[in-house]
Amino acid sequence: MRYYLMPIEGSEVVVDLAKTTVQTGGLVEFVFASPDGDPKGRQSTIYLRKIAGGYFTSMDGVRWTRIPRLTRSSKIVVGNQTYDLYRGYKPSGVGGAHEGDLVTQMPGMVAKIHVTPGQIVKKGDVLLILDAMKMENQIISSREGIIREIFVREGESLAKGRIIMELEALE
């Protein structure tokens, strides 16, 4: 079983569930591997037990860590990254933003657009103001480049993951 984890930005992560073994006493062994480089070399075993209604996992069968029971499994969060999770297939048309595309990190309303197509921007320039979570959020250019196209209007409400504009990098 292959999992595809598609982030809003950055690179996708592929994980293979190679084997599931149910032991006596409710112990389950999952063998995972990843083409992105497994922490234990080729593959890793995750042990899982249910104690007092909660799930506990272990990498070595000795040290156990609680992990919340994930009730909705369409998204997972690792650190500050949110991944859309696909089990068994790689979706088409998802996570398909190109290199230079600027994508919304959160839903919000476009308060002000500070740039126009064709404009050259420097790293750190404010491109757009997004009203979200009761605050003004400045969307800032992460590099020097030319604004190729702007896909949103002021006043428009945007879903998360929406492409805002295309920024072509300058050498």
Partner 1 sequence: MIVRPARILIVNRGEIAIRVARAVRELGHIAVGLWTDNEPGAAHLAYCDEWVHLEGHGHAETYLNISRLIELARRHDITAVHPGYGFLAENDGFAEALDREGLVFVGPNARAIRMMGDKAVSKRVARQAGVPTIPGSLGAVADLAEALAIAGEIAYPVLLKAVAGGGGRGMRICRDAREVEANFEAVQREARAAFGNGDLLVEKYIVNPRHVEVQILADKAGNVRHLFERECSIQRRHQKIIEEAPSPFIGDNEPLRLDICATAVKLARAVGYDSAGTVEFVMGEDRSYYFLEMNTRIQVEHPITEEITGIDLVACMIQAALGQPVDAPPQEAITHRGHAIECRICAEDPVTLAPTPGTVTGLATAFPQGTRFDHCLYEGLEVTPDFDPMVGKLVTRGMSRAVAVRKMHAALDGLAITGLVTNIPLHKQILADGAFIAGKYSTDFIEARRPQDGIQTQADLETIYRQLASIEAANMGL
Select from 47, 42, 43, 151 the least CA-distant residue to 101. Answer: 151
8 touches partner 1 (CB under 8 A): no
Show the binding pattern over residues 92-111: x = contacts partner 1 (CB under 8 A), - = does not: -------------xxxx---
Distances (CA, A) of 132 to 16, 56, 81, 129, 157: 36, 36, 18, 9, 10
88 touches partner 1 (CB under 8 A): no
Among 6, 13, 113, 164, interactor with partner 1 by CB under 8 A: 13
Distances (CA, A) of 20 to 29, 33, 53, 136: 6, 12, 21, 47
Among 21, 51, 94, 117, interactor with partner 1 by CB under 8 A: 51
86 touches partner 1 (CB under 8 A): no
Could you say which residues in the range 65-84 bind partner 1, by CB under 8 A? 65-73, 75-82
DSSP state of 94: S
Could you say which residues in the range 28-47 bind partner 1, by CB under 8 A? 28, 30, 32, 34, 36-39, 44, 46
What's the CA gap between 163 and 160, in Å, rounded?
9
Q: Tell me the longest C-alpha to C-alpha distance in the chain.
A: 65
Contacts with partner 1 by CB under 8 A lie at 3, 5, 10-11, 13, 15, 17, 20, 22, 25-26, 28, 30, 32, 34, 36-39, 44, 46, 48-57, 59, 62-73, 75-82, 85, 105-108, 132-135, 137, 160
